[in-house]
Amino acid sequence: MKKIECVIMDWAGTAVDYGCFAPVAAFLKAFAEKGLTVTMEEARGPMGMTKIDHIRELFKLPSVTEQFKQNYNRNWTEEDVVSIYKEFEKHLFASLEEYTTPIPGVIEVIEKLKRDGIKIGSTTGYTTAMMNIVLPGAAAHGYTTDNCVTSNNLPAGRPQPYMIYQNMIDLAIPSVQSVIKYGDTIADIKEGVNAGVWTVGVILGSNEMGLTQEETGKLPAEELNRRMAAVRKRMYMAGAHYVVNTIAELPEIIEIINHKMN
């Protein structure tokens, strides 16, 4: 009988850090220190990628490229990418522990899945050094996974599938048909699609929504529904098999997938 044996979770915006704010704030500060303005929406665009790749993507934005030329009278180089990445790391490490609170519902659902015999893996756009802060921070709040893979020592991070494959090796999961990738960014969705696993996007608390829990609660119902519909569409267009409002719906999705496979 084929069934889901493993759920591979993302971290910021999926499991912890409602709205995925830790990296956004650090990106904005790092670019501002170089006299470059990046909007919050622009900063969220490549979210989920390895952070140095994310910075490279932000440099490629026409607005940032133009600002750089005006400020420095030359085109940006890889040295500039590395320079901003160092500033980004400084800001992120200073605040990262504050953003390790689990998103509502995550602990309860993940514990249920573990009791059901499902292994919990994880992938991330953070480096190993960053996860050395996030993992104990999340554990102190009651959230743990069975495995965590970063892109360190792998050919590439998201949207490439290598972190998912490494989770499957580490957790002894023999088939991509038995795996769900669950995440809150377009890079998460593409990672799952490229790996050939079942791919589920989550809307509330996500980078794609980009709102705090308080902001989400204060939105008029019509506006909230409009924004959620836009995120749902983007995720389905990126290739998601399913898109849920919250993690509370994940056990039902697993049940549906198990039924489809048998």
Q: Which residues contact residue 65 at a Cβ distance below 8 angstroms, ignoring those fewer than 6 apart?
A: 59, 75, 76
- Per the residue annotation, which of 17, 51, 181, 190 is the catalytic one? 51
Q: According to the annotation, is 195 in a ligand binding site?
A: no
What H or E segment, with its residue span, contains residue 243? Answer: strand 242-244
Task: Tell me if residue 10 is catalytic.
Answer: yes
**Coil/strand/helix, residue 16:** strand
Q: How far apart are CA 252 and CA 123, in angstroms?
A: 22
- Per the residue annotation, which of 10, 53, 80, 188 is the catalytic one? 10
Q: How far apart are CA 185 and CA 219, in angstroms?
A: 21
- Tell me how crowded residue 28 is: count the other CB atoms within 10 A of its CB: 19
Task: Tell me if residue 116 is catalytic.
Answer: no
Q: How far apart are CA 111 and CA 108, in angstroms?
A: 5
Strand partners, 199: 181
Q: Which residues contact residue 151 at a Cβ distance below 8 angstroms, ignoring those fewer than 6 apart?
A: 50, 125, 127, 157, 158, 162, 163
Q: According to the annotation, is 10 in a ligand binding site?
A: yes
Q: Which residues contact residue 22 at a Cβ distance below 8 angstroms, ignoring those fewer than 6 apart?
A: 12, 92, 95, 96, 98, 99
Q: How far apart are CA 65 and CA 113, in angstroms?
A: 46
Helices then strands, counting H and E runs in the chain, come out as 12, 5
Q: According to the annotation, is 184 in a ligand binding site?
A: yes
Active site residues: 10, 51
Binding residues for Mg(2+): 10, 12, 184
Binding residues: 10, 12, 184
